Amino acid sequence: GAVVSQHPSWVICKSGTSVKIECRSLDFQATTMFWYRQFPKQSLMLMATSNEGSKATYEQGVEKDKFLINHASLTLSTLTVTSAHPEDSSFYICSAGVFRGFGEKLFFGSGTQLSVL
């Protein structure tokens, strides 16, 4: 089946540095990519949606200048946490989907645990 590869799976960084997380769809071209974060013992929170051919749409309360999303191609999306702070420590998950015909394929990456010291 289709696979979404997310790297790195775990990263520790110093406060003030930037961290880039990659999300790749390995055997299909994703028309839409989603980025989520999950705080401990809480639900997934949608951060942004990136559709083919358009800029990412950020959810209310998500700082677009802090969480830079680049949907470089139909198989690659990156999330860059700029000037990371301890409160950005979280579990980030991407998902990639093909929505021609509405919701036909949607796959999740394995997530990235970010710890900011």
Partner 1 sequence: AQSVSQHNHHVILSEAASLELGCNYSYGGTVNLFWYVQYPGQHLQLLLKYFSGDPLVKGIKGFEAEFIKSKFSFNLRKPSVQWSDTAEYFCAVNARTDSSYKLIFGSGTRLLVRP
Taking the complex as a whole, the smallest distance from the CB of residue 83 to partner 1 amounts, in Å, to: 27
Any idea what DSSP says for residue 7? E
**Residues making contact with partner 1 (CB under 8 A):** 32, 34, 36, 42-46, 49, 51, 54, 57, 93, 95, 97, 99, 102-103, 106, 108-111
User: What DSSP line would sit under 1-45, residue for residue?
Assistant: ---EEEE-SEEEE-TT--EEEEEEESSS--SEEEEEEE-TTS-EE
First to last CA, the chain: 37
Shorter beta-carbon distance to partner 1: residue 14 or 43: 43
Q: Measured from the CB atom, is 74 or 82 closer to partner 1?
A: 74
Give the nearer residue to partner 1 in terms of CB position, either 3 or 117: 3
Q: Which residues pair with 114 in a beta bridge?
A: 11, 90
What is the C-alpha to C-alpha distance for residues 55 and 102, in angstroms, rounded to an integer?
A: 20
Q: Closest distance between partner 1 and the C-beta of residue 41, in Å?
A: 9
User: Least CB distance from residue 99 to partner 1, whole Å?
Assistant: 5
